[in-house]
Amino acid sequence: MPRFVTAALGACALLTSASALAYPLQWQNNSLTYLYGTDFQVDPKTQQTVTFEHVSGWNFGDLFFFIDSIHYNGDKNARGDNSSYYGEFSPRLSFGKLSGQDLSVGPIKDVLLAATYEFGRGDLHNYLLGPGFDLDIPGFDYFQLNTYYRRADTPDGGRGVWQITPVWAYTVPAGRSDILIDGFIDWVVDNDSRSGYHANFKFNPQIKYDLGKAMSWAEKQLYVGIEYDYWKNKYGIKDSSAFKTDQSATNLIVKVHF
């Protein structure tokens, strides 16, 4: 990994740890999601996934973490595994919060330093770092736009590539309850010719009904719905007639917040 990325991620972690000790937690939310889907590519076609997510706001910025436990229903992937895991750790430092200044201008509410560490089975380690923006877009619960310099920790020493990641949530009233539409896009905009990693585009929205609110149980606690997973050139592998990597998969989901 490049030294400047190591140093920046280290500084980010240090500031995050120091700020977490010095400043109180402002809010947090945790959730468990069960997903069942089919039509996946590269990996086995049918998968079940259990996902733990954590998101929190601090006086220094915010933090998002998730880990997927993926199961292949008796099938195996190319490595011979019948299950896998994948996770991301994503702290962001808010320049507005750290400086105590209002950095809003136009639709921009705040400017941040965004970092992500991706990890998974098979010695997967990717490091992402770049500017992030919180945007004020009418109607949206939130809208983030993060731009990363992305580098894989691989023996071949491939060069970095750029990734654009918008993240959003939008709530639509639906009778006695609400429909929540949220998700993200990961758009790797260029190729790493040295490692063979191709530009790719992942579009991953969820459409969920607030069943807890409809049942007069607890608002924003229990959701049911679907997740659509479109991934062009999945894992950065170029789609071809010999090996299809363009993915269009649908998951049924149940999500519980706590």
pLDDT digits (tens, 9 = 90+) for 73-98: 889 988 888 999 999 999 999 999 99
| pLDDT at 2 (0 to 100) | 52
Domain ranges of the chain: 3-257
Phi, psi of 219 (to 5 degrees): -70, 140
Of 18-22, 64-68, 74-78, 128-132, where does mean pLDDT reach its minimum?
Answer: 18-22
Please, which residues bridge with residue 215 across strands? Answer: none
For residue 37, the SS3 value is: strand
What is the Cα–Cα distance from 167 to 56, expressed in whole angstroms? 15
Q: Is 43 exposed, middle or buried (0-12, 13-18, 19+ CB in 10 A)?
A: buried
What is the CATH number that goes with domain 3-257?
2.40.230.20
Q: How confident is the model over 216-246, as pLDDT tens digits?
A: 989 999 999 999 999 999 999 999 999 999 9
3-state helix, strand, coil in the chain (%, to 5): 10, 60, 30
Residues 6+ apart with CB under 8 A from 52: 30, 31, 32, 66, 67
Q: Model's pTM, two decimal places? A: 0.88
